[in-house]
């Protein structure tokens, strides 16, 4: 890998090599962006195995559609959008958009400063993964990707009201989980994690 | 994708966006190998077997085959246009037995037809062949002029019909006609005329008797030419004159008075001077005479 990097010192050279279909460029792109794209896919798919499959499909799509990339924007942003689209396609196939959980009462406000200081990305990813697909998708699109409700409605084929309500419910569930973690931090966030452990294994340990 | 820059962004959104926006998660080590395998699989699926028009080698062979086919096609068209149904660019039709004339003409061993008199035509029609107008014969004649140049002509005054296309009335004079050509008489009446292109070439040659005076004058001129030629032939050939270097060689060998003509006739200077004077006097005599 270190021997290959000097061949593509700039992103433009890397993209040109990708357009030529060079295998070493594929490898460099995969190794450079796979970690971040894995997070994106895991946020949407919850199941880590599914997320990995979606990520591989997304990279395939990136390599196939590299000619469509106009180099006026960020390459990573373009890859991220491809991954989001691929994740949404996967969720659409699973047909779990409208699954909703009843939210009986409004949860208490957690301590966000404590959460910011104490919880890491894996903890938050686990919380997001416990959301229903519809909530999770809307929350990811709105809170992390920065989509508007109109765009979410257009992308997912739902109304803006549904998008707003799902976002609200997702926030409520996340607040409840944060509060639980805040009340019992050992149970929810002290699980040791290794890179080889899957998300499902972590879930089982947590339970 | 417009970033929703709301001033009162929800703290849950801010927390998760901040923590998960640039997070990195470890992937499996064999992830890229799986990706490569999947890409190879999709590429294999995209190529359904041996597609001949996508194979560059097959494209080359197809191009060569197409070129050869075109060359053969044009060659066949060219040859077929030149041979089948055409005689020197003109369409040849089938001649039926009713229209085909029969001319009894003597044929030389080479196939040439000689001295066919007009009187032999039984119907007494125009001596041109095939009952065609003479204009057609005159039109055909220039193309076959070269081929018939080796035809045997008994008199020097033989002219091709194309030289005098407007002298149609002359053929009615008591003149001997000759049909010169290489056409053997066809046996079967329904034979197609285009089977042998050479067989259809016929040239009408009209011979006109010349006045006796003109012939006599021409003979006299010929006799003169022959005499002059004989006189030129009887003149002694020029003797070989030795070159300058040969004379030098002979001087070196001791011959003080070498002859320019290189002969070994050793006569003296006086004899040579006498001969020279004699020759000059003879020339003067002839000049005076």
- State the pairing for strand pair B90-91/B177-181: unpaired
B189 vs B284, more confident: B284
Nearest CA in chain B to A178: B12
In this structure, are residues A31 and B24 in contact, taking their beta carbons and an 8 Å threshold?
A: no
Instruction: Using a CB–CB cutoff of 8 Å, tell me whether A26 touches chain B.
Output: yes
Under an 8 A CB cutoff, do B35 and A146 touch?
Answer: no
Q: Out of B2, B3, B25, name the one closest to residue A39 (CB).
A: B25
Q: For residue range B111-165, list pLDDT tens digits in order.
A: 444 444 444 444 444 444 444 444 444 444 444 444 444 444 444 444 444 444 4
CATH number of A5-94: 1.10.1740.10
Instruction: Using a CB–CB cutoff of 8 Å, tell me whether B20 touches chain A.
Output: yes
Instruction: Using a CB–CB cutoff of 8 Å, tell me whether A176 touches chain B.
Output: no
Which residues in chain B have their CB less than 8 angstroms from residue A26's CB? 32, 35-36, 39
Of B28, B42, B37, residue with least CA distance to A52 = B28
Rounded to whole angstroms, what are the CA distances from B230 to B53, B223, B224, B225? Answer: 83, 10, 10, 9
pTM: 0.46
| Per-residue confidence (pLDDT) for residue B56, from 0 to 100 | 73
How many residue pairs from chains A and B have C-beta atoms closer than 8 A? 103
CATH number of A112-206: 1.10.10.10
Query: Cα torsion for A85, A91, A95, A98, to the nearest 10°?
Result: -90
Under an 8 A CB cutoff, do A35 and B24 touch?
Answer: yes
| Per-residue confidence (pLDDT) for residue B120, from 0 to 100 | 44
Give the separation between CA A168 and CA A164, rounded to whole angstroms.
6
| Per-residue confidence (pLDDT) for residue B32, from 0 to 100 | 86
Instruction: Using a CB–CB cutoff of 8 Å, tell me whether A108 touches chain B.
Output: no
Q: What is the pLDDT along chain A (207 residues), one digit of tens a residue?
A: 444 445 566 788 888 888 888 888 888 899 889 999 999 998 888 788 888 999 999 999 999 989 888 878 889 999 999 999 999 888 888 765 555 555 556 667 788 888 888 888 888 888 888 888 889 999 999 998 899 999 999 988 889 999 999 999 999 999 888 888 887 766 555 444 434 344 444 445 444
Rounded to whole angstroms, what are the CA distances from B115 to B153, B161, B181, B184? Answer: 9, 15, 11, 15
Nearest CA in chain B to A52: B27
Six token digits for residue A15? 């993209």
Under an 8 A CB cutoff, do B3 and A146 touch?
Answer: yes
| Per-residue confidence (pLDDT) for residue A103, from 0 to 100 | 55
Numbered ranges of CATH 1.10.10.10 in chain A: 112-206
Of B43, B76, B148, residue with least CA distance to A64 = B43
Closest approach of B27 to chain A, Cα-based (Å): 6
Instruction: Using a CB–CB cutoff of 8 Å, tell me whether A158 touches chain B.
Output: no
CB contact set of B259 (below 8 Å; sequence gap of 6+): B265
Under an 8 A CB cutoff, do A112 and B11 touch?
Answer: yes
Closest approach of A160 to chain B, Cα-based (Å): 15
| Per-residue confidence (pLDDT) for residue A191, from 0 to 100 | 46
Under an 8 A CB cutoff, do A56 and B36 touch?
Answer: no
Highest mean predicted confidence (pLDDT) among A42-46, A144-148, B230-234, B264-268: A144-148
Q: For residue range B150-182, list pLDDT tens digits in order.
A: 444 444 444 444 444 444 444 444 444 444 444
Closest approach of A121 to chain B, Cα-based (Å): 6
| Mean pLDDT, all residues of chain B | 65
Helices A160-183 and B11-20 cross at an angle (nearest 10°) of 80
Numbered ranges of CATH 1.10.1740.10 in chain A: 5-94
Segment B197-207 mean pLDDT: 71
Under an 8 A CB cutoff, do A139 and B16 touch?
Answer: yes
Q: For residue range B39-55, list pLDDT tens digits in order.
A: 887 766 665 555 666 67
| Per-residue confidence (pLDDT) for residue A121, from 0 to 100 | 86
Instruction: Using a CB–CB cutoff of 8 Å, tell me whether B44 touches chain A.
Output: no
3-class SS of residue A95: coil
Give the separation between CA A41 and CA A55, rounded to whole angstroms.
6
Instruction: Using a CB–CB cutoff of 8 Å, tell me whether A56 touches chain B.
Output: yes
Which residues in chain A have their CB less than 8 angstroms from residue B44's CB? none
Rounded to whole angstroms, what are the CA distances from A44 to A154, A177, B139, B210? Answer: 18, 18, 95, 119
Q: For residue range B56-86, list pLDDT tens digits in order.
A: 778 888 999 999 999 999 999 988 877 655 5
């Amino acid at each position: 890998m270190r021997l290959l990097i000097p061949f593509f010192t700039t992103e433009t050279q890397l993209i040109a090599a990708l357009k030529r279909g060079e295998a070493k460029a594929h490898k460099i792109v995969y190794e450079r962006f796979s970690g971040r794209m894995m997070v994106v896919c895991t946020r949407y798919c919850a199941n880590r195995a599914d997320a990995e499959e979606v990520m591989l499909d997304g990279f395939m799509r990136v390599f196939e559609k590299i000619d469509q990339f106009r180099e006026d924007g960020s390459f990573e942003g373009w890859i991220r959008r491809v991954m989001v689209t691929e994740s949404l396609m996967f969720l659409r196939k699973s047909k779990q958009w409208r699954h909703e959980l009843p939210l009986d009462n409004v949860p208490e406000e957690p301590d966000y400063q404590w959460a910011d200081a104490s919880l890491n990305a894996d903890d938050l990813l686990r919380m997001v993964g416990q959301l229903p697909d519809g909530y999770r998708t809307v929350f990811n699109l709105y809170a992390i990707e920065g989509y508007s409700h109109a765009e979410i409605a257009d992308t997912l084929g739902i109304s803006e009201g549904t998008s707003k309500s799902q976002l609200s419910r997702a926030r409520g569930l996340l607040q409840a989980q944060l509060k639980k973690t805040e009340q019992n931090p050992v149970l929810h966030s002290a699980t040791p994690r290794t890179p080889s452990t899957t998300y499902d294994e972590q879930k089982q340990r947590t339970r | 994708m417009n970033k929703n820059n709301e001033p009162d962004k929800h703290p849950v959104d801010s927390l998760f966006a901040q923590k998960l926006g640039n997070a990195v998660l470890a992937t499996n080590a064999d992830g890229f190998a799986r990706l490569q395998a999947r890409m190879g699989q999709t590429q294999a699926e995209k190529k359904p077997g041996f597609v001949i028009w996508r194979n560059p080698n097959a494209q080359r062979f197809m191009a060569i085959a197409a070129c050869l086919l075109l060359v053969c096609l044009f060659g066949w068209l060219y040859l077929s246009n030149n041979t089948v149904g055409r005689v020197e660019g003109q369409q040849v039709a089938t001649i039926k037995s009713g229209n085909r004339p029969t001319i009894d003409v003597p044929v030389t061993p080479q196939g040439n037809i000689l001295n066919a008199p007009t009187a032999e035509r039984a119907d007494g029609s125009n001596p041109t062949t095939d009952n065609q107008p003479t204009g057609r014969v005159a039109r055909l004649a220039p193309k076959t002029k070269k081929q018939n140049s080796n035809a045997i002509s008994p008199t020097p005054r033989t002219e091709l019909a194309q030289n005098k296309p407007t002298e149609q009335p002359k053929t009615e004079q008591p003149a001997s006609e000759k049909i010169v050509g290489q056409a053997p008489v066809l046996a079967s009446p329904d034979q197609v005329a285009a089977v042998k292109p050479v067989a259809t070439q016929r040239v009408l040659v009209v011979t006109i008797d010349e006045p006796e005076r003109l012939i006599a004058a021409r003979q006299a001129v010929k006799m003169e030419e022959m005499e002059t030629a004989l006189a030129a032939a009887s003149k002694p050939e020029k003797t070989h004159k030795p070159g300058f270097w040969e004379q030098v060689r002979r001087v070196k060998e001791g011959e003080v008075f070498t002859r320019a003509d290189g002969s070994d006739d050793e006569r003296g200077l006086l004899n040579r001077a006498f001969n020279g004077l004699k020759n000059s006097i003879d020339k003067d005599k002839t000049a005076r005479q």
